[in-house]
Amino acid sequence: MTPQPEISGYVTVQRGIRLYYRKLGTGSRTLVIPNGLILMDDFQRFASERSVIFYDVRNRGQSDPVEDAANLAGGIHNDVEDLESLRTHFKLHTLDLIGHSYLGLMVILYAIKYPGRARRIVQIGPSQPDPRKTYPPELTVTDNVMAETFGQLALLEHELSGADPVDRCRKSWWALRRIYVVDPANAEKLNWIRCELPNERNFRKYWMEHLLPPIRNLRFSNADFAKVTAPVLAIHGTHDRAAPYGGGRDWAIGLPNARLLTVPHAGHAPWIESPGVLDSIEKFLTGTWPAEATKPKG
């Protein structure tokens, strides 16, 4: 792929907090990927036809560390407002969005609060719309990998209690990445580790105290879903341990203009285990539903 022009810098959002971004390409359409820096190696291909902004969300990555609890209390709702600030900063009338994991939930919250701003939306392994829902075995993963991994993490935390924080983070990540793929060999392809950054070393605390509680309190109505008029492509691996496959189905069923791309035998990073996923995203962003994407029956 031909190298694309790149700029980087900071966008200032509420209360002077700065978010770090990198922008590739010069196309007239703009694709924005929140928390996208960890995905940049795999997703930079999309910059050949458009501009792509990868950015670290609040209190993540190279964005400013946030110490004042008042600036963290909104959790995922802060991420929605920060995305709107970023849109305004770059003077974008509309934007395409890719949200992975819990940010696949956030981009829908954004589309609900700011109707008409999102042109096309891709969710990859999104958190489920109803956090209270339990899925049957055929719509979730019931193996023992999660239990084994978190058991190993508990042992590591005990063994490394006095170790260098960066080393402790890296060793924990080597254990944790196993849950995101079906084939253990594919764990080597996950380049998400950024333990040199304090924000990433402290993410678990931020997640438990400030992000997870408001996510658990979310309740969507049919009226909320009706506000999302943009086409939405939900992409979900059937063996996703971090976010149940049933959640992807529920988004595609509930949103009025959404379809589900099921990726068999893939985990939380389905493009790693099925590279054709990236081709499907490209097709969708250019205006056509992938042939494999369907509207599930409720």
CATH number at residue 81: 3.40.50.1820
Nearest to 106 by CA among 227, 211, 250: 211
pTM over 0.85: yes
Q: What is the mean pLDDT of residues 60-78?
A: 96
Q: Phi then psi for 211, rounded to 5 degrees?
A: -90, -45
Instruction: List the Cα angle 203/201/109 in 5-degree steps.
Output: 25
294 falls within a domain: no
Q: Which of 81-95, 163-177, 196-210 has the lowest mean pLDDT?
A: 163-177
- List pLDDT tens digits, range 226-237: 999 999 999 999
Is the predicted pLDDT of residue 69 greater than 90, yes or no?
Answer: yes
Identify any residues that bridge with 234 across adjacent strands, giving them in sequence order. Answer: 123, 260
Is the predicted pLDDT of residue 20 greater than 80, yes or no?
Answer: yes
Identify the domain containing residue 65 by its residue range: 6-140+190-285
For 72, counting Cβ atoms within 10 Å of its Cβ (0-12 exposed, 13-18 middle, 19+ buried), the class is middle
- Amino acid at site 28: S
72 falls within a domain: yes
146 falls within a domain: no
Q: What is the pLDDT of residue 245?
A: 98
Quote the mean pLDDT of the chain: 95
Total domain count for the chain? 1
Q: What is the pLDDT of residue 160?
A: 80
173 falls within a domain: no
Q: What is the pLDDT of residue 42?
A: 96
Hunting for tokens 């924000």 — which residue is that? 199
- List pLDDT tens digits, range 143-177: 999 999 999 988 988 888 878 999 999 999 999 99
182 falls within a domain: no
- List pLDDT tens digits, range 234-270: 999 999 999 999 999 999 999 999 999 999 999 999 9
% residues pLDDT > 90 (the chain): 91
Give the separation between CA 236 and CA 233, rounded to whole angstroms. Answer: 10
Q: What is the pLDDT of residue 2?
A: 65
